[in-house]
Amino acid sequence: MNKWIVGVALLISQISLAQVRVVTELTDNWKFKKGAQALASQVNFNDKGWQKVQVPHDWAIYGPFDKEIDKQVVAIEQNNEKVASEKTGRTGSLPYIGEAWYRNEFTLPHYKKGQKVLIVFEGAMSEPKVFVNGQKVGDWAYGYSYFYFDITNQIQEGKKNTLAVQLSNQGQSSRWYPGAGLYRKVQVVVKNPESIDQWGTFVTTPYISSALAKVNVKTKASGENVRLVTQVRDAKGTTVAIDSTGKRFGKEFEQNLAVANPQLWSPETPYLYTAVTKLYVGNQLKDEVTTRFGIREISYKSSVGFSLNGKVRKFKGVCLHHDLGPLGAAVNKAALRRQMQILKDMGADAIRSSHNMPSMEQLELADEMGFMFLAESFDEWAKPKVKNGYNRFFSEYAEKDVVNLVQATRNHPSIVMWSSGNEVPDQWGAEGVKRAKWLQDIFHREDPTRPVTVGMDQVKATMASGFGALLDIPGLNYRTHLYEEAYKAFPQGLILGSETASTVSSRGIYKFPVEKGIEKQYPDFQSSSYDLEYCSWSNLPEDDFVLQDDKPWVIGEFVWTGFDYLGEPTPYDDKWPSRSSYFGINDLAGLPKDRFYLYRSRWNTNQETLHILPHWNWAGREGQTTPVFVYTNYDSAELFINGKSQGIQKKHNATPQTRYRLMWMDVKYEPGTVKVVAYGKDGKPAATQEIKTAGKPYKLVLQPDRTQISADGKDLSFVTVSVVDKDGNPCPTATDQLTFSVKGAGSYRAACNGDATSLELFHLPTMKLFSGKLVVLVQSGEKAGDIELEVKGKGLQTGELKLKAVK
């Protein structure tokens, strides 16, 4: 450390520390009532009969499922529908519609008169109106937006303060399950008048070499005669750069700090630095903000593609809706972490938030775990897709929502691109072009360092109007047959697969004959897990693989979707019961479908993949053709049925399917053992895998994702429950009804089996197995100790598991 840095460090250590900002998350002490009167905004309102809840909270996830909820009679233009039909599960068939109130009484013992107080919401579904001590302090419109209000004039020193929030969800306001309630964090920020603005810090890394990185820090702050000191600390907490300045241009300070031998952020090495920014008046500390950031360089160039830290790479991404299956829209970091660990194992390196602002927790995990992020804003602009969608708010709120999105999240190194819209009807006509440019200009004004895209499905229209040409990055949703034409028509010299595949399947369900099919439907309302079924507007995974591999100007893809989500049960959105999607690579419970291994065989280059489908329990199909597929990162393999070779298959370019799958189409079913032997490039056996015909269900097996969880009242262990026969073979067709009980330092939270047609409620301690499996969520309490989970089923050996909650 040089002398100047030592001098500043000594000066800081000698300065008296005043009370600086305190951020309080309002998690407990909430009371909730759906359909409450407007009097709930008043301080002395009697709320004794109201339900006690914790925030984040989603009131609708507790059900019941009802086909009459938000039944929409509509022709879905995005799906090329021409004739309106009744859609019963489009928004999940859960009771999200209506008005509700939340109330919380809180004290701020650290607050002193003269300080500033903000109330910060990271998402409120939807159209929130906020009251503090009986006074309305503001409202917002978009349920996915982050926003805050200054409540300094309403706060009482040394007394209880009452916060009341009114929410209102209209029917026909969404195309998927939107959730309901205060489903993301609510925080109170107390700070001095001389302080750093909310989301007022912007850290970029405009110059990077192996020896040195320039870290630029722009900070907006209020107050007279203020001075700013910023320290950059490495992952160990060691200060590696420091700068002090009293110069301000308007409200903004600007500092440049030199970091020697920088560690670069990437999905493979997600190294994080911290900027600690302190605001002083004289020698008195007035405010302090800590900002995590990464040192990384992104580049998008014609004919070269996307580069991260100087290395060309393609996005191996998935799209994710915001719900967490059985938890609904309520944010939970443990659930998000599990999702992202599953995606990491698959080899994914990117996520697109579809089609709205991501949660802060998801971005924090993306930074830590190494995911590049495409942060999206809107599913609608001025022209509607649904009657009561964002089109009602666009003209008044779009700029405010974009500004808040960018300012709140721009320091996350994971974000490498913004999206201003998804399949907006405004793709048609001159007005849409103007809106696209207007929104893109706002993103550029707030963040000049990242490009902007739009997920375009009306590709011909955007070619004709100039819409696609003005975007930083043209994003194509499907339309694989138009990639070449779009590449020639658009000037950018590259194409992003902003939404790809939309292959539909149900975990562990297989249909015969095995053939490619569009919009195929079956009496059980399931889709085949042979991964050959898709929608009228979509395609199979390998159609995108070919583009990724053969076209250097295709910069990657974001598959629709990484996980199933509530609502949009295509191709059964006009059938009942069907209330969640079939698009996921993983099901609603987070259990991998067969397709997971197809993507893993391509994306996970560090680990072996060798996966056989279908299962081998086909009583009644003896002697009938039952094709066997193998998803593997080996080029060839040999298949054996009960020890008899079915021949060697090798990947080849005759069709997109044979290029990426090994397929034995003429196998005749006979009970017993299916074995596959994969061969290495030297022609020698490299790996084996086998599955067996299972006997009767005998015993329940419990496999937790973690045996030790934090005793914070929020953490979760996801326990996969499966059933095996006497010999330990999985029973892939079991549908037994199970019951769950939890004792000790935790509680039962929810269960999910991944069946899109199930109407069983997630929070009740009973559920049927689907294709032999389900997942139980066990939640910690706030005290350390042992947790015991017991799972029972009629005629089955009970499954027992011990977990531990630790402080």
Show which of 156, 191, 226 is a domain's final residue.
191
Residues 270 and 368 in one domain: no
Do 667 and 625 touch, CB atoms closer than 8 A?
yes
Q: Is 327 left (phi over 0), alpha (psi -120 to 50) or beta?
A: alpha
Domain assignment present for residue 90? The answer is no
Q: How far apart are CA 269 and CA 272, in angstroms?
A: 9
Considering only CA atoms, which of 489, 524, 490, 492 is closest in space to residue 509?
Answer: 524
> Residue 21 carries which DSSP code?
-
444's CB contacts (< 8 A; 6+ apart) are 452
Residue whose tokens read 């590259």: 494
Q: Which two tokens stand for residue 181?
A: 């309630």
Residues 249 and 317 in one domain: no
Domain assignment present for residue 156? The answer is yes
Whether the bond between 592 and the residue before it is cis, its omega within 30 degrees of 0, is no
Q: How far apart are CA 60 and CA 80, in angstroms?
A: 30
Domain assignment present for residue 519? The answer is no
Q: Is 508 left (phi over 0), alpha (psi -120 to 50) or beta?
A: left
Residues 134 and 41 in one domain: yes
Domain assignment present for residue 517? The answer is no
Residues 391 and 480 in one domain: yes
Do 443 and 402 touch, CB atoms closer than 8 A?
yes
How open is the CA angle 512-517-522, to the nearest 5 degrees?
Answer: 55
pLDDT at 19: 66
pLDDT at 16: 36
Whether the bond between 571 and the residue before it is cis, its omega within 30 degrees of 0, is yes
Q: What are residue 12's phi and psi, to 5 degrees?
A: -60, -40
Do 278 and 221 touch, CB atoms closer than 8 A?
no
Residues of the chain with pLDDT under 70: 1-19, 38
Domain coverage including residue 801: 699-806
Show which of 642, 660, 692 is a domain's final residue.
692
Quick: pLDDT tens for 453-489.
Answer: 999 999 999 999 999 999 999 999 999 999 999 999 9
Do 712 and 634 touch, CB atoms closer than 8 A?
no
> Could you give the C-alpha distances from 759 to 576, 725, 764, in angstroms and in order?
10, 28, 12
Q: Classify burial at 497, counting beta carbons within 10 Å of its beta carbon; exposed 0-12, middle 13-18, buried 19 or more.
A: buried
Question: Which residues, listed in sequence order, are joined to residue 260 by a DSSP beta bridge?
Answer: 212
> Could you give the C-alpha distances from 61 to 365, 415, 802, in angstroms and in order?
24, 30, 28
Q: How far apart are CA 320 and CA 331, in angstroms?
A: 14
Residues 541 and 481 in one domain: yes
Domain containing 273 — which CATH number?
Answer: 2.60.40.10
Catalytic status, residue 396: no
Catalytic status, residue 499: yes
Do 179 and 332 touch, CB atoms closer than 8 A?
no
Q: Which two tokens stand for residue 660?
A: 């990426």
Do 556 and 317 touch, CB atoms closer than 8 A?
yes
pLDDT at 562: 98
> Could you give the C-alpha distances from 394 to 187, 389, 400, 429, 439, in angstroms and in order?
26, 10, 10, 17, 11
Catalytic residue, chosen from 127, 361, 499, 533, is 499
Whether the bond between 732 and the residue before it is cis, its omega within 30 degrees of 0, is no
pLDDT at 589: 98
Residues 140 and 175 in one domain: yes
Residues 223 and 282 in one domain: yes
748's CB contacts (< 8 A; 6+ apart) are 740, 741, 742, 765, 776, 777, 778, 779, 789
Residues 383 and 459 in one domain: yes
Q: How far apart are CA 356 and CA 377, in angstroms?
A: 4
Q: Which two tokens stand for residue 645?
A: 């070779």
Residues 341 and 425 in one domain: yes
Q: Which two tokens stand for residue 278?
A: 């302190």
Domain assignment present for residue 761? The answer is yes
Residues 184 and 199 in one domain: no
Q: How far apart are CA 44 and CA 774, in angstroms?
A: 46
Show which of 692, 715, 738 is a domain's final residue.
692
Residues 321 and 372 in one domain: yes
Domain containing 480 — which CATH number?
Answer: 3.20.20.80
- Residues shown for the chain: 807
Q: 623-639: b or e for each residue (b if 16 or more CB lie within 10 Å)?
A: eeebbbbbbbbbebbbb
Do 660 and 542 touch, CB atoms closer than 8 A?
yes
**At 468, is the secondary structure helix, strand, or coil?**
helix
Domain assignment present for residue 587? The answer is no
Predicted TM-score (pTM) of the model is 0.96
Residues 485 and 346 in one domain: yes
Catalytic residue, chosen from 194, 423, 533, 542, is 423
Domain assignment present for residue 15? The answer is no
Domain assignment present for residue 513? The answer is no
Residue whose tokens read 């050996």: 797
Q: How many structural domains are present in the chain?
A: 5
